[in-house]
Amino acid sequence: MRAFSQVDVFTSEFLRGNPVAVVHDAEGIPDEEMAAFARWTNLSETTFLLPPIQAGADYRLRIFTPSGELPFAGHPTLGSARAWLEAGGVPAAAGRIVQECGVGLVTLADDAGRLAFAAPPLRRSGPVDAQDLGAIAASLGLSPDDVVDSAWVDNGPGWVGLLLRDAETVLGLQPDFGAMIGFQVGVIGPRPDGDDAAFEVRAFCPDLAVPEDPVTGSLNAGLAQWLIGSGRAPSSYTAQQGTVLGRRGLVRVSAAGADVWVGGDTVVGVRGTVAL
């Protein structure tokens, strides 16, 4: 039996945000059993905590969706770090956690219990070609002219980002997931001035067996790198995601020098053991 946690991420309320299943002390679990357990939990991600291999890491993390393994994902990074700390993990440097995963070393900051990760470099960036943009827009029921801007914002899962004119348009989307196959799509639009959040975000990833992800750290990281870098977003803001799913999460973004930090609250809602 191995220790198990389930953590809601980007929320201070249990049953909100986005849950991640975390298996502790996962040495010796075969890859196929990790994948099978991720299919069984049927959450957007399930993670496995392992001893680090790379120098400087506090722990190593493997991240699985129901359809396969990812090199990086944001809400599992925050939720797994919270689970590791709650289980007695002590980082080598106070207030700073270093996670090893498929993209290398990812640094997290711990500010009085609120965790944030430094966004890893984008694996793919730049403009989306007209044919891909047309296919993606059509899968969302939009024309390319409805899209204010678009860019690849891929830091591991394969994200392409679309900026729409407003949050109302984002919330009203009814995607055709069959037409979206081949793309992991993130959509963002500004919320009215004076709201708690500056932007509304939705994430669609049917290729990963997650048609709509409730709240997505990796996508928000890529969107922030793009929008802050292009001057379309301020250096510090809050994004809201999961609204249409009844899972309203708040993602806190801030740029500091060359780094973009993405964080939020985390809640451990389930503790127990699992027979793996």
Which residue do the tokens 């999460």 mark? 249
Domains of the chain: 2-121+263-274 (3.10.310.10), 124-252 (3.10.310.10)
Mean pLDDT of 233-250: 97
The whole-angstrom distance between residue 205's C-alpha and the CA centroid of its chain comes to 12
pLDDT at res. 263: 98
pLDDT for residue 66: 96
Digit-coded pLDDT (tens) for 183-210: 999 999 999 999 999 999 999 999 988 9
> Exposed/middle/buried for 71, CB within 10 Å: 0-12, 13-18, 19+?
middle
pLDDT band at 218 (very low <50, low <70, confident <90, very high): very high
Tell me which H or E stretch contains 154. strand 147-154
Strands 18-23 and 46-50: parallel
pLDDT at 87: 97
Cβ(129)–Cβ(144) below 8 Å = no
The stretch 260-271 carries a mean pLDDT of 98
Q: What is the pLDDT of residues 133-155, one digit of tens each?
A: 999 999 999 999 899 999 999 99
Rounded distance between C-alpha atoms, residue 19 and residue 44, angstroms: 8
Per-residue buried b or exposed e for 180-202, using 16+ beta carbons within 10 Å of the residue's own CB: beebbbbbbbbbeeeeebbbbbb
35-77 residue pLDDT tens: 999 999 999 999 999 999 999 999 999 999 999 999 999 999 9
Position 173 scores a pLDDT of: 98
pLDDT of residue 76: 98
**pLDDT-based confidence at residue 232 (cuts at 50, 70, 90):** very high
Q: What is the reported pLDDT for 249?
A: 97
32 in catalytic set: no
The catalytically annotated residue of 45, 100, 200, 212 is 45
pLDDT band at 243 (very low <50, low <70, confident <90, very high): very high
For the chain, give the mean pLDDT: 97
- Residue 204 phi, psi (nearest 5): -120, 120
Question: In the structure, what pLDDT confidence band is assigned to residue 231 with cuts at 50, 70 and 90?
Answer: very high
